[in-house]
Structure 1
Amino acid sequence: MDPGRWSPDLRKEAAIDRPPLDRFDHTSVLLEPVLELFAHAPARGVLLDATLGGAGHSAALLEAHPGWQLIGLDRDPTARAAARERLQCFGARAQVLAGSFAEHVPDQPLIGVLADLGVSSPQLDVPERGFSFRQPGPIDMRMDPTGSPSAADLLDTLPEQDLADLIYRYGEERLSRRIARRLVAQRPWSEPERTTADLAYAVAGCYPPRARRGRIHPATRTFQALRIAVNDELAALETLLARGPDWLAPSGVLAVISFHSLEDRRVKQAFLADPRLERLTRRAIQASPEEQERNPRSRSARLRAARRLKMAPG
């Protein structure tokens, strides 16, 4: 495994990522089902964890399969630092690289590809990342803090109609036009004193009073839509679903954990339509009641997997 063949700028990566590790404490969802599904993969080869996070899934898979090596990708420098700490016991078997799976092409067949598409607990719980409205923070939402425009930038620059379309398409928000109108009227959102709490308050104000007291906060779908747009998440997923099967060796496993219907529908449809794949999950696997009790964020997780078929010549 030569990381330089993935990206020439990643050779100094280990020296760059030094965020505090105590800021990343994440519980991996659906860990046992993931282990069971990857039991179908070949005994030796390279696994790509396309969304490494804190490396919970990858560490368990490497421990269960001594013949495996790992390439782990993540755009978040805090996640990469935590993953290196967790995987150091595996030595040269594990390499952690910066970037998205949409940016890289492996140079050898893989025995497995895993993508956990969820936002991690540290990203949600650290106000400075701007992913959540539970605590005030900058309106950011970037997985890579040095990368794409922030959510505030989108809110300040998109025309009202485009913003409404974004909120409807990625958040499935029925009040998208009303919300976009209010958010445009309250610009600029990039001022330092404006926070995620201000944004959530503005969105909630578009709902009638009775609807603001539901189980789901009124701003949830708008925050989801902005996060997906900022990080280009659906385009990256479609790249993975289109290219991933070609990366796999025969009998290699492609597994995806999604957290909302926009993702899960794409995974389901891709697995059904792709002649290179045989589904290992007829229905999406969900967290058990016990796991949901231990980790409430697992309630929306959906796991689907497929195995690479041997294609007939020609």
Structure 2
Amino acid sequence: MAAEAARIFSLSRQYQWRSLFRPGSTRQPRTNTASLFYFNSIGISSVRIGGIGLSMCLTTDTNNRSNSCSKKKTKMMTKKANSNSNSNCEEIKRKKEKEKEKEKEKRRTRSEMEFDLKEQHYDYNNLSGRGHIPVLLGEVLQVFERPNVPLNSFVDCTLGAAGHSSAIIQGHPELQLYVGLDVDPVAHEKAQPYLNNFVNKNSGGTTSDFTMHTFQKNFKDLKSILNEVDEKLLIHGVDGILMDLGVSSMQVSNGERGFSVLSDGPLDMRMNPQASLKAEDIINTWPEAEVGRILREYGEETNWRRLQNKIAKARLDGGLHSTGELVHLVQSMTPMSKGRQGWVKTATRVFQALRIAVNDELKTLEHALCACFDCLSFGGRLAVISFHSLEDRIIKQTFLDIVNMSNGEGSEVQSSVLRLDNYAGEEETWVKQSISGMNGIILTKRPITPSEEEESLNYRCRSAKLRVIQKMRRQ
């Protein structure tokens, strides 16, 4: 079209110059009406030709220009509206998350114990130097420190670095029997000499007939272990039992165990290295549907299906054989906008799911809780520390089943300070609400969580929950 306009313009210019220099001509050059009509038809609004020089003004159609401008404006407005709606949605999500956190904080029963009380019982600096800090130490000691009720026998089902055990032995000079268990041989090897040295140094604070036994066994075998120590223990029971679930700092810091998402190592995750099943076997050989179920149920991961498909594709390239490869797979499916915190949370849930499946933790826990309660003496207490919602749900429901209150009917809820019937006159202020049943009493209707001071010292304790049940003589 531009070439055609230039051709018409050239013809009209020739016509004007010929008429101007024609011999005897006195008229002024005129505009070619045909060319003007053509220019207007192709969108050129005006052409002016006159004098010696020629000028041409080309303008686009005003209607087309206004339409294009209006389209641009509408696009800009829609973009702004979309951005505003997205920002509004993000703000609404943030507000909802804050409200949920506030509601959780309201329901949460934080420990009211002064943090200095814990330091009176144990040196936290020495514990941190050994790579492990016992969680809720002061609260556990408070559970078993009852006026006029001696603690003659005690069982630590998860010995670990012996942080809780050493504090219990030191705080109870009347203790006559101590039994420590741990399925992890590394933890057992480290804890046994430490406890021996600790008992020898504090021999003046224990009774002369104090005996100590440690076993590298699972707490699900508690009945057979106590029978091995003394057959009478199954008849009379023990006064206190502690279970500190989860992975210890020693296990997480050792990359060769495969528990940490931040250090590369083999996909192992076995609490007992002598066991046959590894996380690598589940990832590379188990059916895809079963892997997805593990991620969904044990890890509570919302993107379990995408992870399942990613793992299935990785099998075609030889599979996954290290924690670094598994973490890289998680990073590849996590949006970059979420940053490091996003993939770390997802990887933590994936590792949790695999660890639970490798060690069959949930079924073992349910059976062990019932076995531990059966091994208690009348008035004896079982304290359990959990670190994720799956464990806490099992503990809560099992405790309700044990006291014959699984359906919640006939339960008695006592607020404020609890006054136990069999120890009239002795108040325990740490008990806020309890649930009584035929076989026992749950002293923690809501679990006790660490204080803010303890969380500031030990960040790994932030998800810890303590539940306590006491065995009662049937009426």
**What TM-score comes out, normalization by structure 1 length?**
0.86
Partner Cα distance (2:218, 2:319) in 1: 27
Equivalent position amino acid for 1:121 in 2: S
Partner Cα distance (1:100, 1:189) in 2: 31
Give, in angstroms, the shift of residue 99 of structure 1. 1.2
Asked if the contact 2:151/2:240 (under 8 Å) is kept, the reply is no
Partner Cα distance (2:338, 2:296) in 1: 18
Instruction: Kindly indicate whether residue 462 of structure 2 is the aligned counterpart of residue 299 of structure 1.
Output: yes
Asked if the contact 1:204/1:212 (under 8 Å) is kept, the reply is no
Alignment RMSD, CA only? 2.0
Q: Which sits farther off after the overlay, 73-82 or 99-108?
A: 99-108
Residue number in structure 2 paired with 1:38: 144
Give, in angstroms, the shift of residue 133 of structure 1. 1.5
Give, in angstroms, the shift of residue 282 of structure 1. 2.4
Instruction: Kindly indicate whether residue 184 of structure 2 is the aligned counterpart of residue 76 of structure 1.
Output: yes
Q: Which sits farther off after the overlay, 280-289 or 51-60?
A: 280-289
Q: Residue 199 of structure 2 is aligned with which of 84, 90, 93?
A: 90
Partner Cα distance (1:148, 1:47) in 2: 32
Higher normalized helix content (fraction of residues)? 2
Give, in angstroms, the shift of residue 38 of structure 1. 1.1
Unaligned runs of at least 5 residues, structure 2: 1-128, 201-209, 228-232, 404-438
- Please give the residue correspondences for 1:46-195 in structure 2 after superposition, counting only pairs within 5 Å: 46-68=153-175, 69-88=177-196, 89-90=198-199, 93-105=211-223, 106-107=226-227, 108=233, 109-187=237-315, 188-189=318-319, 194-195=321-322
Q: Which structure is richer in relative contact order (CA contacts within 8 A, separation 6 or more)? A: 1
Residue number in structure 1 paired with 2:471: 308
Give, in angstroms, the shift of residue 240 of structure 1. 1.8
Task: State the aligned residue count.
Answer: 288
Residue number in structure 1 paired with 2:40: none
Partner Cα distance (2:340, 2:471) in 1: 46
Partner Cα distance (2:193, 2:303) in 1: 44
Partner Cα distance (2:294, 2:463) in 1: 22
Asked if the contact 2:238/2:376 (under 8 Å) is kept, the reply is yes
Asked if the contact 1:37/1:280 (under 8 Å) is kept, the reply is no
Q: Which sits farther off after the overlay, 84-93 or 266-275?
A: 84-93
Unaligned runs of at least 5 residues, structure 1: 1-22
- Please give the residue correspondences for 1:182-261 in structure 2 after superposition, counting only pairs within 5 Å: 182-187=310-315, 188-189=318-319, 194-211=321-338, 213-214=340-341, 216-261=344-389
* Pair 1:33–1:203, CA change in 2 (3 A): same
Partner Cα distance (2:267, 2:130) in 1: 20
- Please give the residue correspondences for 1:262-277 in structure 2 after superposition, counting only pairs within 5 Å: 262-275=390-403, 276-277=439-440
Asked if the contact 2:283/2:311 (under 8 Å) is kept, the reply is yes
**What TM-score comes out, normalization by structure 2 length?**
0.58
Give, in angstroms, the shift of residue 120 of structure 1. 0.5
Asked if the contact 1:110/1:249 (under 8 Å) is kept, the reply is yes
Identity between Structure 1 and Structure 2 (%): 41
Equivalent position amino acid for 1:33 in 2: E
Residue number in structure 2 paired with 1:290: 453
Partner Cα distance (1:127, 1:214) in 2: 20
